[in-house]
Amino acid sequence: MVTSQAGWVGHSHLPVRPVAPTDNDRWGVPVQLGEQRVLHAGRWRWLRAMAWLVLVFFLTAAAFGLPLQAAVDLLPPDDPALQLMGLSAACVAALGCYLLAVRLGEGRWASELAVRPALSGLVVGAVLGLLMMAVLMGVLAATGLYDITVVGAVPAWAGLGLALQAAVTEELWMRALLLRLLWRAFGPLPAFAIAALVFAALHLANPGATVLAGATVSVAGLMFCALYALTGRLWVPIGLHLGWNFAQGYLFGAAVSGNSLGGSLAVSSARPDAATWFTGGTFGPEASVFALVLVSSVTMAALSRARKTGRFSIRPRPPEPAHPA
């Protein structure tokens, strides 16, 4: 955020005191739900919001899928670094499509994807995700539920690409579209509940999914929603999602929602005779009761901070500047 600098106003020679950012400002900005064009106030706004959700989802899915398929067809399959570049281009295309759709359809710059806070938000989120996974795996190893064996350095391109794909697409579709437009249509409580349940339902088809896995992923969905509401940006949720998956699959070599990220620095194996609800089974450590406790703690902290900073009492924002902040 930019604060005023002490100085002089016009020719009055009156000193201007610096304005310190409020506690609310330090966390980010309120979520922009959309107030204009297709989302203008009036009759059937909820229906327009839902139709807009479907349309933008298909537009961004096409913007992501077409470049990704081109990368698969044109780039050497045995060069994961180039494949990562192609996947990154597909992610950028999807985000760019969203920015354009919001500008044209909602008459605003998408502050949730503002460039200036992108790097800091991604770094904060990634560090938080890495720390959370380190704590989780540390507890599982300390209790004897997992054996962690270091196997040595391997290229990170494949694991990073899969983690990046999940982080960008899921946060774009689950938070910027589903959560935001449900919030616009029905309010925050139904939006958070539905977004969390949909996020969990999408993971229940993965190998090794259990009821506990669904519960943990649902709470994780609430965590991402809360961080989006708190910061008004997608960057922290994307960074956390990326850091969590990358640490789990590449650094520790554990299953990520029942899937493998490929080569890893270590291999983490659950004790065969341990209960699945302790280890997460074949779904991975994030389906363990320890993960549920950890994710719930972070979720409650983020929700509490978002409530205290008034993020759930969103009002129309003043006209925006010519360029996104």
On the question of pLDDT at 16 being above 60, the answer is no
pLDDT of residue 319: 44
Mean pLDDT of 209-238: 97
3-state secondary structure the chain: CCCCCCEECCCCCCEECCCCCCHHHHHCCCCCCCCCHHHCCCCCHHHHHHHHHHHHHHHHHHHHHHHHHHHHHHCCCCCHHHHHHHHHHHHHHHHHHHHHHHHHHHCCCCHHHCCCCHHHHHHHHHHHHHHHHHHHHHHHHHCCCEEEEECCCCCCHHHHHHHHHHHHHHHHHHHHHHHHHHHHHHCHHHHHHHHHHHHHHHHCCCCCCCHHHHHHHHHHHHHHHHHHHHHCCCHHHHHHHHHHHHHHHHHCCCCECCECCCCCCEEEEECCCCCHHHHCHHHCHHHCHHHHHHHHHHHHHHHHHHHHCCCCCCCCCCCCCCCCC
Give the mean model confidence (pLDDT) for residues 64-87.
92
Q: Which of 54-58, 211-215, 262-266 has the lowest mean pLDDT?
A: 262-266
Bridge partners, 259 (sequence order): 256
Average pLDDT taken over every residue of the chain = 89
Residue 219's identity, in one-letter code, is: V
Question: Cα dist. 16→20, 26, 208 in Å?
Answer: 12, 22, 62
d(CA 229, CA 297): 17
Which residue type, as a one-letter code, is found at position 134? Answer: A
The closest alpha carbon to 37, from 169, 179, 184, 174, belongs to 184
Residue 240 clears pLDDT 90, i.e. is over it: yes
How confident is the model over 22-53, as pLDDT tens digits? 545 677 899 999 999 999 999 999 999 999 99
**120 token code pair:** 């800091």
Residue 13 lies in a domain: no
Q: Tell me how far apart the alpha carbons of residues 168 and 82 are, in angstroms, rounded to a whole number.
A: 18
Is 317 a member of any domain? no
Region 5-21: mean pLDDT is 37
In the predicted model, is pLDDT for residue 221 greater than 90?
Answer: yes
Task: Using pLDDT thresholds of 50, 70 and 90, give the confidence band for residue 201.
Answer: very high
> Is 9 within the bounds of a domain?
no
User: Across residues 115-138, what is the average pLDDT?
Assistant: 97
Tell me what pLDDT residue 24 has: 55
Total domains, the chain: 1
Mean pLDDT of 171-198: 97
Pull the structure tokens for residue 132.
């959370």
pLDDT score of 152: 86
Q: How far apart are CA 36 and CA 95, in angstroms?
A: 21
Span 142-155, mean pLDDT?
93
Band of pLDDT at residue 257, cut at 50, 70 and 90? very high
CB-based burial label for 15 (10 Å; 0-12, 13-18, 19+): exposed
Checking if the pLDDT of 166 tops 70, the result is yes
**Within a domain: 302:** yes
Any domain includes 322: no
Q: Quick check: is 10 in a domain?
A: no
Q: Retrieve residue 167's tokens.
A: 């982080």
What's the CA dihedral at 214, 216, 219, 221 to 10 degrees? -70
Compute φ and ψ for 79, nearest 5 degrees. Answer: -120, 90
Is the per-residue pLDDT at 290 higher than 50? yes
pLDDT of residue 26: 72
Does 266 map to a domain? yes
Position of tokens 């040595």? 152
Nearest to 163 by CA among 204, 212, 130, 198: 130
Amino acid 4: pLDDT = 36
pLDDT at 25: 63
Instruction: Write out the residue range of the structural domain in which residue 130 sits.
Output: 21-308
Q: Give the pLDDT band (50/70/90) at residue 143.
A: very high
Flag whether pLDDT at 19 surpasses 80: no
CB 251 within 8 A of CB 126: no
The answer to the question of residue 297 being in a domain is yes
Q: What is the pLDDT of residue 5?
A: 35
The whole-number average pLDDT for the span 145-166 is 93
For residue 290, give both structure tokens.
């320890």
